[in-house]
Amino acid sequence: MDFTPTEEQAAARDLAARIFGDLSTPERLAAAGTGSDSETWKALCAAGLVAAVADTGLLGLVLLLEEQGRTTAQVPFAASCVYGLLAVSVHGSPEQRERLLPGIGDGTAVVCGAVFEPGGVRADAAGRLSGVVPVVPWLRDATHVLVADDRRRLWLVRTADARCAPVELTAPWAAGRLTLDGTPGEPVGGTDAYDDVLATARTAFAGLQAGVCAGSLARAVEHTNTREQFGRPLAAKQGVQLRAADAYMDTEAIRVTAYEAAWRRDEGLAYTTHALTAAWWASEAGQRVVHAGQHLHGGTGADLEHPVHRHFLWGRQLDAYLGCGSEVLQELGELIASGEEET
């Protein structure tokens, strides 16, 4: 295993870090409310960072999402890359790739996903979908949504053809309720597409969680080094050091498991169990880290307007989105026990 970024991946990561750092300031995020930051999204697309994921692979995307997570930038980066660019690149037909990828790459088309809980949507023989998906992150920004039906087949649906109602989540992810009533959909991929897209999503959002945790911890370190109590910085206290050290180790565990799953996918190796492992760490350890980040701020951490609270909300939302740790661990255990060859 070699997780060292290529020159292209490192350049894309550094560019993303500059864009997120310059534009996703606490003041701008507060002004955006629960919606997306359209200026940051336009800057990312204009810089070619969405389109670049087709070349930098899933590991490259994970590196970019880490930078997004550090600032909790409110853009549909992970969703559009996973459910749009990567899904269509790998599983789309030549005609779909030619028609859809340019728009996804330049940001004029935004794709979100309703794949984590298949079963609520049914498709008839004509490819018309019916059902309700209660919560779809970034649906309010999307031009298309990738939907999994009850048979785990993937369909791409235009949001203009469906009913989309706003839904507020813990984190400001511009989510919505998707209602399909004989809505036309176009199939994407074959029988193996669902498992691949799900594993890709788990890996990517684990990478996003690594960034969220790193950002939370960085704020906690800055606060405890500058805040004094009885004439000494809080960081000088052993209890604070131990709590921060545990959070650091958890963050590194999320990062390295996400890197491994992404690297294996890019190398064409089996990675389903590795994606589940990354999701488990992101869910279980992620919520520990963002809780620690808030607690290490003391009374300041109770301020809902403080930037560290955003990391707390994002960390808890990602925990719920990926599936709580016990659910992911059960799925991983069942997969290992079955002895089935993973994809």
What pLDDT, on a 0 to 100 scale, did the predictor assign at position 157?
A: 98
119 φ, ψ (degrees, to nearest 5): 130, -25
Distances (CA, A) of 79 to 201, 205, 297: 8, 9, 31
What lies within 8 Å, CB to CB, of 23 at 6+ separation is 37, 39, 40, 43, 73
Q: 144: alpha, beta or left, given left = phi > 0 and alpha = psi -120 to 50?
A: beta
Rounded Cα gap, residues 308 and 306, in angstroms = 6
What pLDDT, on a 0 to 100 scale, did the predictor assign at position 339?
A: 77
What pLDDT, on a 0 to 100 scale, did the predictor assign at position 39?
A: 94
Q: Are 151 and 189 in contact (CB under 8 A)?
A: no
DSSP run (H or E) holding 179 = strand 176-184
Look at the block and give the residue holding tokens 């400001």: 172
Provide the sign of the torsion angle of the four alpha carbons 211, 24, 74, 80, taken in this order: negative
Name the DSSP class of 319: H
What pLDDT, on a 0 to 100 scale, did the predictor assign at position 237?
A: 84
Token pair listed for 258 = 């996400």
What pLDDT, on a 0 to 100 scale, did the predictor assign at position 172?
A: 93
Name the DSSP class of 33: T
What pLDDT, on a 0 to 100 scale, did the predictor assign at position 230?
A: 78
3-state secondary structure 68-124: HHHHCCCCCHHHHHHHHHHHHHHHCCHHHHHHHHHHHHHCCCCEEEECCCCCCEEEC
Q: Is 337 exposed, middle or buried (0-12, 13-18, 19+ CB in 10 A)?
A: exposed
DSSP run (H or E) holding 228 = strand 228-229
pTM of the shown model: 0.95
C-beta atoms surrounding 264 within 10 Å:
21
Cα 152 to the chain's mean position, in Å?
A: 21
Q: Are 227 and 319 in contact (CB under 8 A)?
A: no
Cα 94 to the chain's mean position, in Å?
A: 27
Token pair listed for 264 = 């294996």
Token pair listed for 189 = 């991929």
Distances (CA, A) of 45 to 40, 42, 274, 309: 9, 5, 30, 28
Distances (CA, A) of 324 to 86, 88, 126, 162, 194: 25, 28, 36, 29, 20
Residues of the chain with pLDDT under 70: 341-343
Closest to 265 in 3D by CA, of 203, 323, 190, 210 = 203
